[in-house]
Amino acid sequence: MKFSTFSILGDSISTFAGFIPSQNEAFYPRIGYDVTEVDQTWWRLLEKETSLHLVANESYSGSRVSKTGARPVWTSFLSDKRQANLESETIIIFGGTNDYGQENPASLAVFSAAYEELVATMLANHQQSELFFCTPLQRTDRAIDEPNSQGWNQKELAETIRTCLKRHEKAHLIDLASYPIQQGDGLLQDQLHPTKEGMRLLCRLIKKSLECY
Q: What are phi and psi of 3, to 5 degrees?
A: -125, 160
Q: What are phi and psi of 10, to 5 degrees?
A: -145, -175
Q: Give the DSSP H/E element, type plus range, for residue 160.
A: helix 154-166
pLDDT for the residue 213: 85
Q: What is the pTM of this model?
A: 0.98
Between CA 152 and CA 17 the distance in angstroms is 32
Q: For the residues 24-53, what does the mean pLDDT come to?
A: 98
Secondary structure (3-state) at 22: coil
Give the model's confidence band at 2: pLDDT under 50 very low, under 70 low, under 90 confident, else very high: confident
**For the segment 132-165, what is each residue's pLDDT rounded down to a tens digit?**
999 999 999 999 999 999 999 999 999 999 999 9
State the CATH class of domain 5-210.
alpha beta
Share of the chain above pLDDT 90, in %: 97
pLDDT at 41: 99
Please say if the pLDDT value at position 1 is more than 80.
no
The predicted pLDDT at position 10 comes to 99
| Averaged pLDDT of the chain | 98
Residue 19 burial by Cβ neighbours in a 10 Å radius (0-12, 13-18, 19+): middle
**pLDDT tier, 60 (very low <50, low <70, confident <90, very high otherwise):** very high
Looking at residue 25, its pLDDT comes to 98
Domain ranges of the chain: 5-210
Instruction: Give Cβ neighbours of residue 30 (< 8 Å, ≥ 6 apart).
Output: none
Counting residues of the chain whose pLDDT is more than 70, the rounded percentage is 100
Q: Across residues 64-80, what is the average pLDDT?
A: 98
